[in-house]
Structure 1
Amino acid sequence: MNGAEPEPPEDLQVKLRAAADRLLAGTPLNSPGKLTILDLAREAQVKRWILTHKYPIRLMAKYQAEFKAAQSETEKGTAERRELDKLREALAKVREEKRKLTALVHTYAIMIEQLATERAQAVRERDEALAARDSALGIVKLPHAARGGRDARDSFSD
């Protein structure tokens, strides 16, 4: 042999690929499930030295690179999930605040309606009282349109 690494047998490659796929999916059958060469060997039920000594370039380096890339994606996904969780929490707070503000606006609308009704009633009562006073004093008032505009009694400034 000239020192070149031999091609791994097909059945070994199939076992390792299936084991690597299980590890990457997070569904190990024969190992703790870490993305390491040791767990890959355990998962594939082969001796570790086959990967580390017999096929270090064709198999070990290949799977180490694949696992490193997967861990990088997992870490990126974890950071994105944390950010998503923060955004969901912020959204929940904003929705709760919106719910409270909507209820407050509804309360204010009811209060405004009640105050407008009370004001209209007060204006009617005032106008009736002034009309009764004028009648009692014998004062004759022209109709509103004939007076040419606003009456001083149209506001509460009296």
Structure 2
Amino acid sequence: MNAQPATTDRDAIRAAIDRLLAGTPLRSSGSLTIVALADEANVKRHLLTHRHTDLKDEFYARVRACGHVPDNERKLRDDLHKATERIKELIAEINKIQGENHAFARIVNVLELENHQLRTEIGSTGHLVALPGAHER
């Protein structure tokens, strides 16, 4: 008695696979997902994910063989592409900031040197003497 419903479920799943791949769904959204397959076969999803795993695997294999990319995989690929592009943007921004930091460090070093020279000049003469070219700034 238990073999009859399983056979009926398997037949319904196989027929649903054929309809989804042909693009002629009767009961589902037509998307190439396990949820849509379960809806199309009019069976509970856990039957596909726990009892008829061979049919689930067959479904995914046939989807890939037809060149179809499941919606969830397409979304993941899009997300990966966006994340990769964002990483490239952030790396470029980091490189720009690092370049600016190096320039600021050089400016600080020059200012420290000038400050040291001015303090040395004040210390040796007791008063400040204008640096050459300072009046042109």
TM-score (norm 1): 0.41
The structure with more radius of gyration: 1
TM-score (norm 2): 0.47
